[in-house]
């Protein structure tokens, strides 16, 4: 998982156990937190092959994660998804 996943301050381990299987743990974490306007393509490519993509996305939505790529979606894409869900 990328570094910021580790410091979100969540105590409940079961909620985070999926992160042990995250594919981005084996890749460049910086790709998941691109500079403003930077490319998200590399990160999204990794997410496509990640077996915990669904859990990751749900986690990010539930915790209102603002930065980075989670579950293959950028911050903006997650916001859109949320709006549709409400």
Interface residues toward ligand SF4, by CB under 6 A = 1, 22-24, 32, 46-47, 50, 52-53, 56, 69-72
Q: Residue 69 Cβ, how far from ligand SF4 at the closest point, in Å?
A: 6
Of the pair 67, 80, the CB lying nearest ligand SF4 is at 67
Q: Residue 84 Cβ, how far from ligand SF4 at the closest point, in Å?
A: 20
Q: What spatial distance separates the first Cα and last Cα of the chain, rounded to whole Å?
A: 28
CA distances (Å), origin 26, targets 36, 40, 83, 85 = 23, 17, 32, 32
Which residues are CB-contacts of 73 (< 8 A; sequence separation ≥ 6)?
A: 57, 60, 81
Q: Residue 18 Cβ, how far from ligand SF4 at the closest point, in Å?
A: 8
């Amino acid at each position: 998982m990328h570094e910021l996943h580790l410091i979100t301050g969540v105590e409940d381990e079961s909620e985070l156990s999926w992160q042990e299987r995250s594919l981005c743990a084996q890749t460049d974490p910086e790709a998941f937190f691109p500079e403003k306007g930077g490319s998200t393509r590399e990160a999204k490519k990794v997410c496509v092959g990640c077996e915990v993509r669904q859990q990751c996305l749900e986690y990010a939505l539930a915790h209102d994660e603002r930065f980075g790529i989670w579950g293959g979606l950028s911050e903006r894409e997650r916001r859109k998804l949320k709006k549709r869900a409400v």
